[in-house]
Amino acid sequence: MVVKKAIKWCFVCLLFLALLWSVVPKNPLQRALPRQYQSHWKQIEGRYSRVYYQNEKQTAQMIQRQADTYYTMIATDFGWQRTEKIDMILFETKQMFEASFFYDGALPMGAYYKGIIAVVSPQLWDMQKQGWERTDYFLENGPVVHEMIHFAVEEKTKGSCPRFLTEGIALYYEKKYTGYLWSIPEEEKQIPVTKANLEKEFYHMDTGLFYWKSYEWVLKFVECYGEETLQKALEQKGEKAT
Q: What φ, ψ does residue 73 adopt, rounded to 5°?
A: -65, -45
Q: Where are the domains of the chain?
A: 27-157, 163-242
* Residue from 59, 23, 31, 27 nearest 44 by CA: 59
Residue 26 is predicted with a pLDDT of 67
- Does residue 156 contact residue 234 with C-beta atoms inside 8 Å? yes
- Does residue 92 contact residue 53 with C-beta atoms inside 8 Å? yes
Q: What angle do CA 69, 74, 77 make, to 5 degrees?
A: 140
Residue 161 is predicted with a pLDDT of 95
Coil, strand or helix at 193: coil
pLDDT tens over the chain, length 242 residues:
544 444 445 444 444 433 333 344 568 999 999 999 999 999 999 999 999 999 999 999 999 999 999 999 999 999 998 889 999 999 999 999 999 999 988 888 999 998 999 999 988 876 666 666 777 788 888 899 999 999 999 999 999 999 999 999 999 999 999 999 988 999 999 999 999 999 998 878 898 999 999 999 999 999 999 999 999 999 999 999 87
Distance of CA 225 to the CA centre of its chain: 25
Coil, strand or helix at 92: coil
- Does residue 66 contact residue 145 with C-beta atoms inside 8 Å? yes
- Does residue 52 contact residue 43 with C-beta atoms inside 8 Å? yes
- Does residue 97 contact residue 113 with C-beta atoms inside 8 Å? no
The correct CATH number of 27-157 out of 3.30.465.10, 3.30.2010.30, 1.20.1420.30, 2.40.50.140 is 3.30.2010.30
* Residue from 64, 68, 154 nearest 115 by CA: 154
